[in-house]
A and B are shown apart, each in its own frame.
Chain A
Amino acid sequence: MTLENWQEQLRRGGLEFAVLLTLTGSPRYGFEIIRHLEESTDLVVNEGTVYPLLSRLAGQGVLLTEWVADEGPHPRKYYRLTRSGRERLETMMQHWETFAGKINALAREARGGAR
């Protein structure tokens, strides 16, 4: 696997988690989610991949959607976490913390050994 492929796998795996994290506060519409992700991560390479992901999460009952027509010059589709979405996010956060902790420990050990 090339370095680019590895980075791509990481990005792909992280996108769903990042989208759910973005929605922990108030509801956001698709473009707002993308803008937030672009400002705080480099996970969004093609914007067109975020909407299918949102669509799937909504289909799985992780997100609730609502079209708001009178807010901007055009209708916006808002997303918010459902109860099961919050539970899923909580589980994902626990897994992530454990996973990242172990990998960071390995990286620290490797750095220490390299010196």
Chain B
Amino acid sequence: MKLSQAGEARVRGYLFVLHRSLASFMPTDTARDSIREVESHIRERVAQVDGVVDEKAALEKILAHLGTPMKVAQAYAAEITFDEAVATGRPLPVFRALWMASTTVRGFFVAMALLVGYALGAGLIAVAALKPIFPQNVGLILRDGIPVALGAMFPLPPGSEAAGGYGLILVCLLLGAAALMVTHRMARAFVAWWRTRLKGPTEE
């Protein structure tokens, strides 16, 4: 079957949407290569259609069998980004996968919760690192003897003091490392679950 102008426009439209989806998480060259391959597939399928047929129906059937651009993009995301995150567990691929998952409502709230966990861990480690440098400004901040914060204040407000000796360094280091480890474990578990969801049932 040779495509009419309308058929060509439909194929170009499909590839355009797919390219936009892929380019949001893939290097440009990889996205272009994937588009070229999907186009090759569509043209192979079109060439296989013999005789006089309803072009629109035949083309829609081919594209439906391939999956919507969003579904195909999700499959690429699941195979490449999420697979790397699950397989390696390295922070960068996990963060990239979380970033992608955060485009949905559920993913956004989970990513926010995980961000709080990471920030807490990083904050505690920062307190441990800053305490020996600024012992008067870093620690458990007391105002009139009542604890109001754990961290650093420059300068300390009148009537305030940074309590906690150097033992605080060890406590913050341990708590910070634990917070980071637990959060990252949860992030990996979430990414693994999300990957299963993305690869999910392939039937339309």
Q: Point out residues on A near B: beta carbons under 8 Å.
A: 4-5, 8, 11-12, 29-31, 34, 45-49, 51-53, 55-56, 59, 67, 72-77
Interface residues of B in 70-120 (CB under 8 A from A): 71-72, 75-76, 78-80, 83
Specify which chain A residues have a CB less than 8 angstroms from the CB of B66 in the assembled complex: 46-48
A4 contact from B37, B43, B201, Cβ within 8 A: B201
Q: A48-B66, A52-B80 are in contact. Are A73 and B47 (CB under 8 A)?
A: yes
Is B136 part of the contact surface with A, judged by Cβ < 8 Å? Answer: no
Specify which chain A residues have a CB less than 8 angstroms from the CB of B39 in the assembled complex: 74
**A74 in contact with B40 (CB, 8 Å):** yes
**A75 in contact with B40 (CB, 8 Å):** yes
In the complex formed, the residue of B with least CB distance to A45 is B202
A53 to B72, CA, bound (A): 11
B202 contact from A8, A74, A76, Cβ within 8 A: A8
A47 to B42, CA, bound (A): 10
Specify which chain B residues have a CB less than 8 angstroms from the CB of A73 in the assembled complex: 43, 47
A-B residue pairs in contact (CB < 8 Å), sample of 8: A12-B202, A30-B41, A31-B45, A46-B66, A49-B67, A56-B79, A73-B47, A75-B36
Is B203 part of the contact surface with A, judged by Cβ < 8 Å? Answer: yes
In the complex formed, the residue of A with least CB distance to B203 is A45
The 6 A-B residue pairs with the shortest CB-CB distance in the complex, in nearest-first order: A48-B67, A48-B72, A52-B79, A56-B79, A31-B44, A52-B76
Q: Besides A46-B67, A48-B66, A59-B80, 12 other CB < 8 A contacts?
A: A31-B41, A31-B45, A47-B41, A48-B72, A48-B75, A49-B72, A51-B41, A51-B75, A52-B72, A52-B78, A53-B75, A55-B80
CB distance from B80 to the nearest CB of A (A): 6
What interface size band does chain B fall in? 20 to 34
Q: Point out residues on B near A: beta carbons under 8 Å.
A: 30, 33-34, 36-41, 43-45, 47, 65-67, 71-72, 75-76, 78-80, 83, 199-204
In the complex formed, the residue of B with least CB distance to A11 is B202
**B202 in contact with A46 (CB, 8 Å):** yes
**A51 in contact with B34 (CB, 8 Å):** yes
In the complex formed, the residue of A with least CB distance to B36 is A75
CB distance from B161 to the nearest CB of A (A): 56
**B201 in contact with A5 (CB, 8 Å):** yes
Q: A45-B202, A49-B67, A55-B80 are in contact. Are A74 and B43 (CB under 8 A)?
A: yes
**B199 in contact with A12 (CB, 8 Å):** yes
CB distance from B174 to the nearest CB of A (A): 37
CB distance from A78 to the nearest CB of B (A): 11
Specify which chain B residues have a CB less than 8 angstroms from the CB of A11 in the assembled complex: 202
**B37 in contact with A30 (CB, 8 Å):** yes
Specify which chain B residues have a CB less than 8 angstroms from the CB of A72 in the assembled complex: 44
**B201 in contact with A8 (CB, 8 Å):** yes
In the complex formed, the residue of B with least CB distance to A7 is B201
Q: A51-B38, A51-B72 are in contact. Are A56 and B202 (CB under 8 A)?
A: no
**B65 in contact with A46 (CB, 8 Å):** yes
